[in-house]
């Protein structure tokens, strides 16, 4: 009888421990993701993922291989590929609601900000280089403007978001309300003619 009681107690506590560990492994909004070894570089108006230039063709397939994660897809004007564990979203262009295999924009979520249906559940925690300067979350707008002095800065679509372009590539860099900390970087093929 004592042995049966001890076995029941053991199973009860062991099961509780397993559930707690599993729950802790689930993605939580605003926590660092699993992109720690990934390097994103934007140099000379070219986007590279892990030292492979991807902005010459903007094809989905090579980007998916380089990102190397599980995506959550959502269809709409574009097909969004949200990589919840990496803090990355790829926007795939559609033609008559059919996937084109062409990426129109890549977003890297650096810090908590606005949330919507495509926002990844975790933050990008890999390395980001702008013109060979490594960005930190506390990189200010003033510093970014110095780094991107050869890029054209133009009007953005929202407050505390700044647009920079060079050689057919654009970036929207979203800052906090004081322009002292980066929240998100969006990179895409520049089609503006202004």
- Tell me, yes or no, whether 110 lies in a domain: yes
Distance, in Å, from the CA atom of 101 to the CA atom of 79, rounded to the nearest integer, reads 10
- pLDDT-based confidence at residue 171 (cuts at 50, 70, 90): very high
Q: Give pLDDT tens digits for 109-124.
A: 998 877 888 899 999 9
Secondary structure (DSSP) of 59-111: BHHHHHHHH-S--EEEESSSEEEEETTTTEEEEEEEETTEEEEEEEEEEEE-S
* Domain hosting residue 148, numbered range: 30-189
- Tell me, yes or no, whether 2 lies in a domain: no
What's the number of domains the chain is made of?
Answer: 1
- pLDDT-based confidence at residue 192 (cuts at 50, 70, 90): confident
- Tell me, yes or no, whether 7 lies in a domain: no
> What mean pLDDT is predicted for residues 1-28?
36
């Amino acid at each position: 009888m004592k042995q049966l009681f001890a076995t029941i107690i053991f199973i009860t506590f062991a099961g509780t421990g397993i559930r707690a560990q599993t729950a802790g492994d689930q993605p939580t909004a605003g926590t660092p993701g699993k992109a720690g070894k990934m390097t994103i570089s934007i140099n000379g108006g070219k986007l590279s993922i892990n030292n492979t230039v991807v902005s010459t063709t903007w094809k989905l397939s090579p980007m998916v291989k380089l990102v190397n994660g599980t995506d959550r897809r959502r269809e709409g004007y574009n097909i969004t590929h949200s990589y919840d564990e990496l803090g990355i979203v790829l926007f795939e262009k559609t033609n008559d609601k059919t996937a084109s295999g062409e990426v129109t924009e890549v977003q890297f979520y650096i810090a908590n900000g606005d949330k919507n249906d495509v926002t990844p559940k975790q933050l990008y925690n890999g390395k980001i280089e702008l013109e060979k300067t490594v960005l930190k979350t506390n990189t200010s707008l003033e510093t970014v403007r110095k780094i991107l002095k050869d890029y054209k800065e133009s009007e953005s679509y929202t407050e505390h978001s700044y647009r920079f372009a060079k050689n057919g590539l654009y970036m929207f860099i979203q800052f906090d309300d004081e322009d002292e900390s980066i929240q998100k970087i969006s990179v895409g093929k520049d089609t503006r003619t202004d």
